[in-house]
Structure 1
Amino acid sequence: MAEQNLEAKLKNLLKQEKIQLWNPPYTEQGQQQGQQQGQQQGQQHMQELAERYAPLLRLPMSEVGGALESIRAQAVKRGRGNQTFRETSVATLELLLPRDAKKDPKVRTYLETRLDVSAQQVVDRVAEEHGLRSIKLILSGRTLSAERRLDEQGVKNHSKVMVLRVSDGELKQQLTEEEEERRSQEESVQRTQKGFQILSERDGSEDPDTTPFLEIADQKGNPLKIPPTEKKALILAMGFHEKGRALMKRKQHDNALCHLLQADQQFRKCGSALLSSVDNYAVLQLDIVWCYRALEALSCLEDGRSRLQRAEDCFLRCYGEQQERLLMIKGNTGREEVLFLRLYLLQSLLSYIEGSDSEARLQLSRVESLYARLRPDSEKMAQLMELGFSEREARLGLRASRGDLQEAAIHISTRRQEREELKQRERQKRRTRMEAISALMELGFSQRDAARALHHADGNVDRAYAILLDSSQDAQATNNNTEGGASPEMVEQLLYLGFERDSAEAALRLTGGDVQSATQLLLDNQGVLSPELLTPPSTSSSSSTPSSEEPSSASSSPEDSELVSEVLEDIAPHEEDYLDLTLEEESELISAMKAYLHREPAHT
C-alpha cells in the first residue's frame, strides 16, 4: 500500500511539471531498442529526477528512484500496448490476481487478448497460465458474462480486470472432496437466487408455519406497500446481501463478493425513490468495498471511490444532513455511527492510496474520534450482561446511549418490550386470520381458497366472501361457455389434424372453444393431455379459486422447501445485526493506517 501511495504522489508531481517519462530524455528511442547509449542517458535523467523529488517527499532517493522507474516502465508498456492495439487490435489488460496466485506482489500482471472474444476464453487462459480453477472476472464491480464478448461488456484496452476465485484450487484434500467443494461453491449463487426467488413469489396468503414468506417492513416493523415487481427485486437483493454478509463473517470474502455483486444488480432494478428511502443499499456499497480491501483489490480505485460516494449520499438522504430523520425514527443515532466509522475509514484508505496524505489524515482523525466513542467498554459490557442482557444488546445499548450505563439498560429494556409487542401483534393477526378462514370454510369454501381470498381482501371477511362468490360465478359461466362452445365442426377440425376425439374435446373445453389455442395446447403436449385435464372441472364452490396474478405457492416441492430453508438460515435473526460490529477489523486497519501515515521521514 505504501508503494501505491508513493507512486500516486510522484504522478501528481510529474503531472504538475508536465513531465512525460515515456518520452525523451527519460526514455530515449535508443533505449526502447535496447541500445547501451540510450539506456545510460535515460538512467542519468531519471537519477536527476529522483534526487530532486526525494527531499520533497522526505524519502530515500533509492525508494523514489525505484518508484519513478516503475512509473516509467508502466507508461512505456502502455504506449507500446496502444501501438499494438492500433496495429493488431490486440488489447492489453491488467489482471488483479488473488494474493496467493501472485509470484511477486510488486509485479503487475498483464494479459494480451483481442476484445472480440468471449470472456470464457479469457477465463480459460487465466486459469491455465496462473493455475487457477473456477474463477470469475470482475470489471468495475460487475461480473463479466462468460458467453458474451469482452467489448460488448465495456472491456477496453488497458482495462483493469479483477480475477475472483470462487473455489479453493489447492490440492489439500482428496480429489473427490475438492470436486464436491468446487461444485458446492459454484452452485451457491444459483441456489441463493432460486431460494429467494421462491420467497419473493409468495404473497403470504398461505399458512406461514408451513409456507414461509418474507415481508418488507420499515424500521418500526410495519409492512411496506411495494409494487410486486420492485418487491421481488428487493427481496432478491436483500437475500443476496444477507448471504454475502454471512460469508463475510466466515472470512470467505471472495465468495461473499460474488453474492454482494448479485445483490447490487438486483437493487438497481428497484426505483430510485425506494433506494433513497432505505439504508440497505448504502450498507451494501460499504460491504462491497470492504471485500475489496480484504482481497487487496483496492486497485479498483474508481469503482471503490464511486461506491463509497453512493453510500455517503444514500446515508444523507435516509438519515438527514444532521441525522435528524434517524433521530426522529429511532430516538438516537449511536448505533448507526459504526456505519460512518467504516465509511470514513475506507475513504481514508483510498485517499492514502491516491497519494493524498493530508486528506487521509483528516478522515482518519474523524475515524479515531468515532472509534473512541464506539469501541466496547468491557467493564460496562460485563455489568449489563450480569443483568441478563446479551452481548449484542449490551454493545448496541451502550452505543445508543453514548456509553451511559443506566440509559443503556433502559434502552435495551425498551427495545425488548417493543419487539415483544410486535410479536404479540403478529400472533393476534394470525389468530384473527385463522378465525376468518374457519368462518369462510363453514360456508363451503376450501381452506386454500379462503386463505387466498382473505389475503386479496386485506383481511376483510365480507370482501373475501364477495371475491369467492364472484370466482364461483365466473367459473360456472366459463364451464357453461366451454361446454357449449366445442361445436362438432371445431372437433372435426382437430380430428382432421390427427388428434384423438377425447383430447380434442378437452382442449377445446380448456381454451373456451378457440381452435387455434386448442391446437397449440395439443401440440405442446404431443397430442396427449393428462387425465386431470381430460376430466371436466367441478362446479362446486369449494373448488373455486380467486383470480390472482401471483402464482400459487401451496404446492411447493421438497426441493423448493429445502432451498427456502437453506437461504433462511443465512438471514440474521436480529434486525440490527448489520450494526453490531465488534470493530476488531476496523481497529487493525486504523493501526495500519496510522503506521503508514506517521512513518518517520528518512534522511536523504
Structure 2
Amino acid sequence: MGMGKLRIVGAWSGVLEVELDEWTVATLREEVVKKSGLVGPQCINLISAGRVLRDGYGTEKLSQLGVKNNAKILASKVSTDQERKSLKEEFLAEEERSKRLSRLKGNNDGTHANANAKALIKRQQYKDALEVLTMGEEAFSLCNHKVIEMVDNVSILQIDMVWCYFMLHDISWLSVAGIRLAKTREGIEHAHGKESSRMRALQGGRYLELAPYLRLQLLEGVIAYHNGQLQKSKEALTAAQAKYTQLQVTDETLSLLMSMGYKARDAKRALRMSNQDVGSAVDFLVEEKAKKERELEEDH
C-alpha cells in the first residue's frame, strides 16, 4: 500500500503523509501529539471508522488494522479523569462500547447514523453518539456529492456532532466546531435555497421546521462567545430565542388535535409546520398519513 494520506480532525486538524505499511498506531499517535502541542502520547485517542485504534503488541501496522489512504482519523483529547482510570477499567469499558458500536455499525449508513446517534444523545451517551456520527459522516462522503448537496442530512449530522462536542465539555473541540458550523450553514442554505425558497416549494408553501435553525444559531452564539465575538454571539442567541418562541405550542390547540386522536408529538410538529393554525395542521397530518400509506404500498 505504501505512502498514504490521513485526514486528522479533532485535537489537531490537518493532513499527514504516512507509511501505511510501516507506521504503527504508536507512531501515528506520537506524530499527532507533536503536531497538536499536547504532552505525552497517552493524552490522545485515535478513532477510525468508529473504533479506537489500540497499540496492541506494538507491531501491527496501520494497513493491517484496516486504515486506508485518505481515511479520516478522529484525534480525541483524553480527559484528566480518563487518564486516572486503571488499564483494566479502561479495557472493560472500551470492550463494552466496542460491542455496542459494532451492533450499530452493522446497520449504519449516513441516515441510520443520524437516528442511532439521536437515541444515544437522548441517553446522554455523547461520546458514543459522536463515534456513530463519525461513521455516518464517512458513509455520506461515499455518496454522490451532487445528490448530497440537495438534501440537509449532512448538515443535521454536523449540528448533532457539534452538540456532542459541547455536551462533552471539551474546549479543544472549539476550532473544529466553528468549522463544522460554517459548513452546516452553507449546506443548509444550499439545500433549502435562498431564504428557504426551495424547501418551501417542496413543502407546498408550509412553514419550515425551525428546530435545526434554532440549534444552529444557538451553537453559533456559544462559539462566538467563546471566541470573544460578543456582538455576534448576542445576535445569534437572540435569533435562536425568537425561533424558540415560535416553536411553542399552546395547550389549547394541542389538546384540540389530541382530542381528534393524534399523538402529542405529531400534533406539535403539525402545528409548528402550520404556524399554529389548527385547520392547516389537520391538513398536514392527513397528508402525512397518506404519504406513509403510499410508501408502504410501494415497499410491498
TM-score (norm 2): 0.72
Question: How far 1:362 moved relative to its partner?
Answer: 0.9
Separation of aligned partners in 1, 2:155 and 2:168: 20
- Kindly indicate whether the alpha-carbon contact (under 8 Å) linking 1:143 and 1:261 is maintained by their aligned counterparts in 2: no
The residue that corresponds to 2:149 in the other structure is 276
1:404 aligned partner, one-letter code: D
What does residue range 304-383 of structure 1 map to in structure 2 within 5 Å? 304-332=177-205, 334-383=207-256
Question: How far 1:238 moved relative to its partner?
Answer: 2.3
Alignment coverage as a number of residue pairs: 252
Instruction: Kindly indicate whether residue 36 of structure 2 is the aligned counterpart of residue 163 of structure 1.
Output: no
Aligned partner (choices 99, 115, 128) of residue 187 of structure 1: 99
| Cα gap change, 1:138 to 1:298, in 2 (>3 Å) | farther
- Kindly indicate whether the alpha-carbon contact (under 8 Å) linking 1:244 and 1:256 is maintained by their aligned counterparts in 2: yes
The residue that corresponds to 1:111 in the other structure is 39
Question: How far 1:334 moved relative to its partner?
Answer: 3.3
- Kindly indicate whether the alpha-carbon contact (under 8 Å) linking 2:51 and 2:98 is maintained by their aligned counterparts in 1: no
Instruction: Kindly indicate whether residue 282 of structure 2 is the aligned counterpart of residue 409 of structure 1.
Output: yes
RMSD: 3.6
Q: Deviations over 1:88-109 (max 9, x none)?
A: x994856xxxxxxxxxxxxxxx
The residue that corresponds to 2:135 in the other structure is 262
Question: How far 1:288 moved relative to its partner?
Answer: 0.2
Question: How far 1:360 moved relative to its partner?
Answer: 0.5
Separation of aligned partners in 2, 1:332 and 1:361: 31
Separation of aligned partners in 1, 2:229 and 2:102: 41
The residue that corresponds to 2:45 in the other structure is 136
- Kindly indicate whether the alpha-carbon contact (under 8 Å) linking 2:158 and 2:180 is maintained by their aligned counterparts in 1: yes
Separation of aligned partners in 1, 2:109 and 2:294: 28
| Cα gap change, 1:162 to 1:180, in 2 (>3 Å) | closer
Look at both structures and tell me which one has the larger radius of gyration over its CA atoms: 1
Instruction: Kindly indicate whether residue 299 of structure 2 is the aligned counterpart of residue 419 of structure 1.
Output: no
- Kindly indicate whether the alpha-carbon contact (under 8 Å) linking 2:117 and 2:132 is maintained by their aligned counterparts in 1: yes
What does residue range 195-234 of structure 1 map to in structure 2 within 5 Å? 195-196=106-107
* Structure 1 stretches of at least 4 aligned residues deviating more than 3 Å after TM superposition: 89-94, 135-139, 142-149, 178-182, 332-335
Aligned partner (choices 249, 261, 265) of residue 392 of structure 1: 265
1:263 aligned partner, one-letter code: G
What does residue range 440-451 of structure 1 map to in structure 2 within 5 Å? none
Partner SS, residue 77 of structure 2: strand
Separation of aligned partners in 2, 1:330 and 1:236: 25
- Kindly indicate whether the alpha-carbon contact (under 8 Å) linking 2:162 and 2:181 is maintained by their aligned counterparts in 1: yes
| Cα gap change, 1:382 to 1:181, in 2 (>3 Å) | farther
Partner SS, residue 316 of structure 1: helix
Q: Which has the higher contact order (CA 8 A, sep 6+)?
A: 1
- Kindly indicate whether the alpha-carbon contact (under 8 Å) linking 2:156 and 2:212 is maintained by their aligned counterparts in 1: yes
Partner SS, residue 111 of structure 1: coil
1:248 aligned partner, one-letter code: I
Question: How far 1:270 moved relative to its partner?
Answer: 2.1
Question: How far 1:145 moved relative to its partner?
Answer: 4.3
The residue that corresponds to 2:112 in the other structure is 239
Partner SS, residue 195 of structure 2: coil
Identity over aligned residues, as a percent?
24
Bigger strand share: 2
- Kindly indicate whether the alpha-carbon contact (under 8 Å) linking 2:45 and 2:76 is maintained by their aligned counterparts in 1: no
- Kindly indicate whether the alpha-carbon contact (under 8 Å) linking 2:253 and 2:278 is maintained by their aligned counterparts in 1: yes
2:213 aligned partner, one-letter code: F
What does residue range 535-554 of structure 1 map to in structure 2 within 5 Å? none
Q: Deviations over 1:507-564 (max 9, x none)?
A: xxxxxxxxxxxxxxxxxxxxxxxxxxxxxxxxxxxxxxxxxxxxxxxxxxxxxxxxxx
Separation of aligned partners in 2, 1:146 and 1:271: 32
Q: Deviations over 1:272-315 (max 9, x none)?
A: 21220121111110000000011112432221111111111111
| Cα gap change, 1:394 to 1:335, in 2 (>3 Å) | farther
The residue that corresponds to 2:6 in the other structure is none
Separation of aligned partners in 1, 2:201 and 2:111: 25
- Kindly indicate whether the alpha-carbon contact (under 8 Å) linking 1:144 and 1:153 is maintained by their aligned counterparts in 2: no
Gaps of 5+ in 2: 1-30, 56-60, 63-68
What does residue range 285-300 of structure 1 map to in structure 2 within 5 Å? 285-300=158-173
What does residue range 31-46 of structure 1 map to in structure 2 within 5 Å? none
Question: How far 1:350 moved relative to its partner?
Answer: 0.4
Gaps of 5+ in 1: 1-88, 95-109, 113-121, 127-134, 155-159, 197-234, 431-604
TM-score (norm 1): 0.38
Separation of aligned partners in 2, 1:153 and 1:274: 22
Question: How far 1:398 moved relative to its partner?
Answer: 0.7
Question: How far 1:384 moved relative to its partner?
Answer: 1.4
The residue that corresponds to 2:125 in the other structure is 252
Separation of aligned partners in 2, 1:253 and 1:186: 15
